Amino acid sequence: MNLHYQIQGQGQTVVLIHGLFGSADNLGILARSLKDTCQVISVDLRNHGRSPHSEHFTYQAMAQDVLDVLNQLDIENFTVIGHSMGGKVAMTMAALAAERIKSLIVLDMAPVAYHVHRHENVFAGLQAVNNQTVTSRKDAEHYLALHVEEAGVRQFLLKSLYKADEGFRWRFHVEALIANYSTIMGWETISPFTGPTLFIKGQNSEYIQPEHREAIMGQFPNAKAHMVANTGHWLHAEKPETVNRIILNFLQGLKN
């Protein structure tokens, strides 16, 4: 599985991992903030962006994919930052290669299994586009809008639409994501990672709750937490300057 990735800047290595339906570009604002002092590697996870597709879609596999990129680049130690599903990939990397991770930053995700299906309308919209001969982005948005009411969510999804020979298609592997949705929302408890860890929560998001504290501290005993006021799950897009500052301050504090 040769992931597509991009590298910016020089210095200590920071790996950025996007969430479900995303791509390397999703954390672009953060990458631009970090590249002045760090070497930033942004990856497309399997079944997303320009990376290959596979029916096999587990956190272990996704984490190993990213580690394979770092191995190919001869990078031994690094910081890893993941948002949402990418946060679970990052946490799984901490289980697979704890000694290589200098620090871990998780954006709005807890190391727990979620039991609410949050994406039924999104999957219905994606399939609606797949089931039609779509000749323009406007057509795609029309079919998406039959299922996805939020304009911002539609625009986010449309970033992964590309023109193929037979019309417009999704870059992510829709059917594999549907088939593996229980895995995406699930979680297998990992051995404690004792390195520096930061969880950043959007105040209005439901992904990190007080009842998750025990699971977080049990698996990440040195974790710190920071809440970003008046933001939801997409905190890095809603308040990029605030999130960037929190991350930069955390990384700078590790040097002092």
Q: Which of 23, 84, 103, 205 is catalytic?
A: 84
Closest among 201, 222, 249, 182 to 83, alpha carbons compared: 201
pLDDT in tens, 184-234: 999 999 999 999 999 999 999 999 999 999 999 999 999 999 999 999 999
> What 8-state DSSP symbol labels residue 224?
E
Average pLDDT, integer, range 68-91: 98
Q: How far apart are CA 56 and CA 179, in angstroms?
A: 10
Mean pLDDT of 166-187: 94
Are 251 and 36 in contact, with CB atoms under 8 Å apart? no
Catalytically annotated residue among 4, 83, 173, 233: 233
Looking at the whole model, is its pTM more than 0.85?
yes
pLDDT bracket for residue 256 (50, 70, 90)? low
What are the pLDDT digits (tens) for 80-114? 999 999 999 999 999 999 999 999 999 999 999 99
Annotated catalytic residue 83: no
The verdict on domain 5-114+186-255 having CATH code 1.10.3720.10 is: no
Asked if 84 is an active-site residue, the reply is yes
pLDDT of 184: 97
Give the confidence band of 20 by pLDDT, cuts at 50, 70, 90: very high
Sorted by where each begins, the domain ranges of the chain are 5-114+186-255, 120-179
107 and 200 Cβ atoms separated by less than 8 Å = yes
The whole-chain average pLDDT of the chain stands at 95
b/e per residue, 91-110, with b = 16+ CB within 10 A? bbbbbebeebbebbbbbbbb
